[in-house]
Copies of this chain bind each other. A is one copy, B any other.
Amino acid sequence: MEKVVVIGGGTGSYTVLRGLKKYDIELTAVVSMMDSGGSTGRLRDEFGFLPPGDARRCLIALSPDTGMLRNLFEYRFNKGTGLNGHNLGNLLLTALRDITGAEEAAIQEAAKILNVKGKILPVTTKNCHLGAVLENEQVVVSETNIDIPRHDAGLRIKELFLAPRPPKAYEGAVKSILEADKIVIGPGDLYTSIIPNLLISGIPEAIKESKAKKIYVCNIMTKHGETTGFKASDFVKELEKYLGKGVLDYVVCNNKKPAPDLMKEYKKEKAEFVEPDLKSNGYKIVKADLLDKIDLARHNPDKLAKTIMNI
């Protein structure tokens, strides 16, 4: 059976996994462990465990589409002192982490409970924080501060780093990358969901060593404070800074612009359409209409999965 590994985090991984789970493949999600915002961030600070949010999204993506346990994992409290804003899936993962004593075991138990198809592996089991050096040499620490900038969001990110130092990759994640037939990187926030995985010691090395076809899925829209003004070629250039040049075999890129009304909405958040300006540069380019609907600037899980499976 074909072995497909998805590397990422956030809603990008959720989307691609939802599409890929319909195929008869051995599916593995390698997920970022640097989230520090919202419910996840509060739990991370208060319990000292690794952040549960990215794993939770993958668990939901790979669980059957219906079922009360899935609903519970998605449930968010909207009141209650200290409970308000907490995601119940995060609380369940926190309890499982406490009961089992390890993040990878907690995710595995949750996967069993949710009857998940495929595997979800943390990219690392070591606690570390994401940081960024901006073009003015300002240093921003903690994932949520990069994701939701409190600094001048017009400043470009010059370099990402992990504090206190890049930890070792989780060996299960390395093994799955080495044994993969296809490695899918993205889609997702470039600096806060994708590249953080490539900062982990052993991950870019494993991707290079793997005989898999290496596929990068570029985003549909830019994100203010991270990729302002980026064209598809800029996404790839930044990615290659951390992954190495000549590693990617394919770049998948949406070429259908969302409806003008929607573009206006995104303009308010200073997000723009990512121009598919790619020219072959050691990798093959797959351009396609990957839009979910013309009035939604996000990938359609089925179109994206089909494109990946056709490679």
Which of A's residues lie within 8 Å of B, judged by CB? 42-43, 46-47, 68-69, 71-72, 75, 77, 79-83, 86, 88, 91-92, 94-96, 98-99, 109, 112-113
Q: In the complex, are the beta carbons of B88 and A75 less than 8 A apart?
A: no
Give bound CA distance, A82 to B85, whole Å: 12
What's the minimum C-beta distance from A129 to chain B, rounded to whole angstroms?
A: 20
**Contact flag A113-B69 (CB < 8 Å), given A75-B99, A95-B88:** yes
What's the minimum C-beta distance from A206 to chain B, rounded to whole angstroms?
A: 31
Give bound CA distance, A83 to B88, whole Å: 12
What's the minimum C-beta distance from A301 to chain B, rounded to whole angstroms?
A: 24
Q: In the complex, are the beta carbons of A47 and B80 less than 8 A apart?
A: yes
Contacts of A72 in B (CB 8 A): 92, 95-96, 99
A68 partner, pick from B43, B47, B77, B112, beta carbons under 8 A:
B112
Q: In the complex, are the beta carbons of A80 and B77 less than 8 A apart?
A: no
Give bound CA distance, A112 to B77, whole Å: 22
Give bound CA distance, A64 to B266, whole Å: 51
A76 to chain B: closest residue by CB: B95
A81 to chain B: closest residue by CB: B82
Contacts of A86 in B (CB 8 A): 83
**Contact flag A88-B92 (CB < 8 Å), given A98-B75, A113-B68, A113-B69:** yes
What's the minimum C-beta distance from A260 to chain B, rounded to whole angstroms?
A: 38
Taking A46-B81, A47-B79 as known contacts, 7 extra A-B pairs with beta carbons closer than 8 A to each other, sorted by chain A number, are A42-B81, A43-B80, A47-B80, A80-B82, A83-B91, A88-B92, A88-B95
Contacts of A69 in B (CB 8 A): 113
What's the minimum C-beta distance from A82 to chain B, rounded to whole angstroms?
A: 1
| 12 residue pairs A–B, Cβ–Cβ below 8 Å | A42-B81, A46-B79, A46-B80, A46-B81, A68-B96, A68-B113, A71-B99, A72-B96, A75-B98, A77-B91, A80-B82, A88-B91
What's the minimum C-beta distance from A79 to chain B, rounded to whole angstroms?
A: 6
Most chain B beta carbons < 10 A, residue from A42, A83, A94, A98: A83
Q: In the complex, are the beta carbons of A68 and B109 less than 8 A apart?
A: yes
What's the minimum C-beta distance from A46 to chain B, rounded to whole angstroms?
A: 4
Contacts of A112 in B (CB 8 A): 68
Give bound CA distance, A82 to B46, whole Å: 11
What's the minimum C-beta distance from A109 to chain B, rounded to whole angstroms?
A: 5
Give bound CA distance, A69 to B75, whole Å: 17
Give bound CA distance, A21 to B98, whole Å: 30
Give bound CA distance, A78 to B47, whole Å: 9
Q: In the complex, are the beta carbons of B46 and A83 less than 8 A apart?
A: yes
What's the minimum C-beta distance from A78 to chain B, rounded to whole angstroms?
A: 8
Contacts of A96 in B (CB 8 A): 68, 72
The 6 closest A-B pairs by CB, nearest first: A82-B82, A75-B95, A46-B80, A81-B82, A68-B109, A88-B95
What's the minimum C-beta distance from A70 to chain B, rounded to whole angstroms?
A: 11
Contacts of A79 in B (CB 8 A): 46-47
A43 to chain B: closest residue by CB: B80
